[in-house]
Structure 1
Amino acid sequence: MKWALSELNKFRGSQVDFLETIDLSASLKKREPSIIDISPIKVNGFLEVDEIGYYAHMTIETILTVPSSRSLEPVELPLNLLIDEEYMTPKQYDALKDVSDDEKSLIIILEKDLIDLTEAIEDFILLNLPLQVLTEEEKQSTELPKGDFWQVVSEDDIKVEQETEAASTIDPRLAKLSDFFKEDE
């Protein structure tokens, strides 16, 4: 998934379509050790070439195997990602006018005369790893794991416990004030 700029410039004013299957499992496992396995990645997209720069649009599909957040059991996660990247040479970037700094920050400046889309694919996969991964059984179960002297509790349970605790306890220094507004009987 690498193209030399001299090769791409032959397609100026048009686009280069591609449909490939690539294997990035070794490099992804090296960058993120929690990845157990990743199937070959199907990449479908195009590179548009014009005077301004190089625009890449692609969709990727793969199945990622990562450990469950609770039990560390392997879980297969299908990933379908849409990737849009804009590349420019330093000369093209310096020639930009009427472009805001926010838009400029999204542009990737090429350090070599080469566009390598595998780097973008790897980055997008790693950025889209979910924080919480559960097996089907864990998703269906309402019971959270617990042991002899510990248990996992949800944030909702903690909030309810804190609210009931706050409502039932009165600060001893302010206990006499609770009688202040009582009507005389």
Structure 2
Amino acid sequence: MKWSTIELRRYQDEPLNFSDTMDVGESLKQRDSEILAVAPVKVTGILSVGKKEYILHYRLTTTVTVPSSRSLEPVDMSLDLSVDEIFMTQAQWSEQVDDREEEIIVLDSDIIDLTDSVEDNILLAIPLQVLTDEEKDGKNLPKGNDWQVVSEEEYLAKKVQAETNDPRLAKLSELFNERDN
């Protein structure tokens, strides 16, 4: 969905309501090679037109399939995102004098493209670490010849055990025991 800023002037008194189902799977796969599949994206929201900006608020729901970061098994992630974005034209941006804490997107042309916003927000919502349900349980960690993945708790426990069993420190601990007596 695309809207021209000239077309949007009709909606200064009341916001523009929209609802659409978008197919952005191929485009997202080109932008991120890790993405295996994207279900059609359902988008519903409003676009409010002000004198100084265009405020876009929408909710998107979809399912994204990405590989597990541990085993590369496909993992389906359901996304349900609420998005708020503020757009300004070049002219509106140059007239702005107040400091805003929100991030403002300055339009390169006089068109607001919902597809770009949807794609960007889906990519931002994909976490760096994606695990299958079995991997989240932590029971079947991968291992091979002379290597093994361990949980952080196991690592810390082994580290403490190694420090307490270090023969070089055993004589030092005896020294402290003699001093305490």
What TM-score results when the alignment is normalised by the length of structure 2?
Answer: 0.89
- Which residue of the partner structure matches residue 154 of structure 1? 151
**Contact preservation (8 Å) 2:12, 2:50:** yes
List alignment gaps of at least 5 residues for structure 2.
Answer: none
Q: Match of 1:81, SS?
A: strand
Describe how 1:84-163 pairs up with structure 2 within 5 A.
Answer: 84-100=84-100, 102-103=101-102, 106-140=103-137, 142-163=139-160
Distance 1:18 1:162, change over 3 A: same
Q: How far apart are the structure 2 equivalents of 1:7 and 1:70?
A: 48
Displacement of 1:38 in angstroms is 0.5
Displacement of 1:167 in angstroms is 2.5
Distance 1:139 1:11, change over 3 A: same
**Contact preservation (8 Å) 1:93, 1:109:** yes
Q: How far apart are the structure 2 equivalents of 1:146 and 1:48?
A: 54
List alignment gaps of at least 5 residues for structure 1.
Answer: none
Aligned length: 181
Distance 1:30 1:176, change over 3 A: closer
**Contact preservation (8 Å) 1:14, 1:50:** no
- Which residue of the partner structure matches residue 38 of structure 2? 38
Q: How far apart are the structure 2 equivalents of 1:15 and 1:184?
A: 77
Distance 1:168 1:4, change over 3 A: same
Describe how 1:19-30 pairs up with structure 2 within 5 A.
Answer: 19-30=19-30
